[in-house]
Amino acid sequence: MRENLKMALKTPEEYLESIKRDMNLYMFGEKVKEFWNHPIIKPSINTVAKIYELAQMEEYKDLMTTHSHMTGEIINRFTHIHQSVDDLIKKVKMQRLIGQKVACCFQRCVGFDAANALYSVTHELDKKYNTNYHERFKNYWIEVQNQDLMVDGAMTDTKGDRGKRPSDQTDPDQYLHMVDETDDGIIVRGAKVHQTGWLNSHRAIVMPTLTIRPGEEEYAVSFGVDTDAKGITMVYGRQSCDTRKMEDSKMEVGNYKYGGQEIFVIFEDVFIPNENIFMKGEVEFSGELVNRFAGFHRQSYGGCKVGIGDVLIGATSLITEYQGVNNASHIKDKLIEMIHLNETLYCCGIACSSLGFKREAGNYEMDMLLANVCKQNVTRFPYEISRLIDDLVGGIICTLPSEADLKSEEVGPLLKKYLSVCDGVSVEDRYKLLRFIENISMGVAAVSYKVESMHGAGSPQAQRIMITRQSNLEKKKQLIKDILDIE
């Protein structure tokens, strides 16, 4: 531990104490009290606490911490505004590291990416309109850095009729919007869904979910808000196999230490003070904020999903050893393919970071084209890796009897007899490993590995649109014209 950092960075214990608040949270139709003790929620809290733990460790300080360009203090990298290409690269490396340690979504990337997008957008907003959004945001973010706060990022609206614009919806609240304004701030209403880690965060940055057009100014709003603000209601998202965490069994859960979290967040006339507002009706900047955030978040997937992939590949290799097939050539070939796919994702994350550039505001941004290529690959490769896992592990990951049966005096001895594999491998170790693989490839963690790989940071078509915009086809056509002397 680095004693000199304890004042600048929260310890895991300090983080755990800091989130013990009265939240308006519902799960299974009932209000949840002391959510930090709920067995379904605790693994997701453990995941965030792990980030705070790693930031205290000397061996990881280069990736997990850095110096704030605004205060000069040592801060958690998740609160940093990128100041160099090296920062962009270390971000991806850090995300891979954490993915390796927890094997699930660690919930802190969205707010990190939202902050870096807002930093440059607010600067350009002020330049055009002579507003003070950038200074507001810097003051807001210095507080985040100084207190080592976890910040969520909220973009996705419920959207209602997808064929209609926000202003054309039967219910205008299907997109979060301003419903009133006072001298001191604004009042907003609507909902944000798929909110990764909202409950475990201290604050959140809210952004539009798409490019807002003239006439829809009430929807062009971005602001910071405390996650427990008055008027906010949360409903905990249901995940496959989630109630296994309520059983008195670590073996049944798979990844029993760590997990992800998704929250349905409803804003019922929430007041936002002026100092926390970073965009208010400037429609022409809404699309740029969406695009920059998406670029940063698509870069992130070249790190986090790769770290989880590392653990999955390790689990798959180990189970083939347990089952005595690890030396078969086709087994080795499929493991090599899994490694190839995983490292290709990492290459994209590092590549888009390496070609990063400096914005006028002074912060650095990744290469947008390669970030979208990275995420496009993420919508495919984890699914192929999971297919290969299912091939190598066998059907037992979806037919395995319960731990209660394994411990039963009547059928337990029979199950242990027929679930035994190679000499020296316990049935219990094989069981834990199979449940872990099931958890990530089929169960709760599949949300953060496969489904999030598909829809997180935008669905595949969103990346294809951006790839088209960034690909510069006219320049490519000119290349062949020059070679063939075509006028």
By annotation, the residues acting in catalysis are 105, 109, 196, 262, 297, 301, 304, 452
The strand ranges marked E within 140-248 are 151-154, 177-181, 185-196, 203-206, 221-226, 232-236
Residues β-bridged to residue 277: 223
109 close to 304: Cβ distance less than 8 angstroms: yes
Residue 486: count of CB within 10 angstroms of its CB: 9
**Angle, CA of 234, 235 and 241, to the nearest 5°:** 145
User: Which whole-number Å values give the CA distances from 265 to 42, 105, 106, 193, in the listed order?
Assistant: 19, 19, 19, 6
Q: Is 33 exposed, middle or buried (0-12, 13-18, 19+ CB in 10 A)?
A: exposed
C-alpha torsion sign, points 126, 131, 135, 138 = negative
Task: Count Cα neighbours of 340 within 13 Å in the Cβ-side half-sphere.
Answer: 8
Task: Count Cα neighbours of 69 within 13 Å in the Cβ-side half-sphere.
Answer: 13
Q: What tokens were used for 261?
A: 């979290």
Q: What tokens were used for 255?
A: 């990844």
User: Which whole-number Å values give the CA distances from 453 to 78, 147, 224, 386, in the listed order?
Assistant: 21, 31, 27, 12
Q: What tokens were used for 474?
A: 């006219």
User: What single-letter DSSP state applies at residue 246?
Assistant: G
9 close to 75: Cβ distance less than 8 angstroms: yes
Give the residue from 201, 199, 202, 179 showing the smallest Cα distance to 190: 179
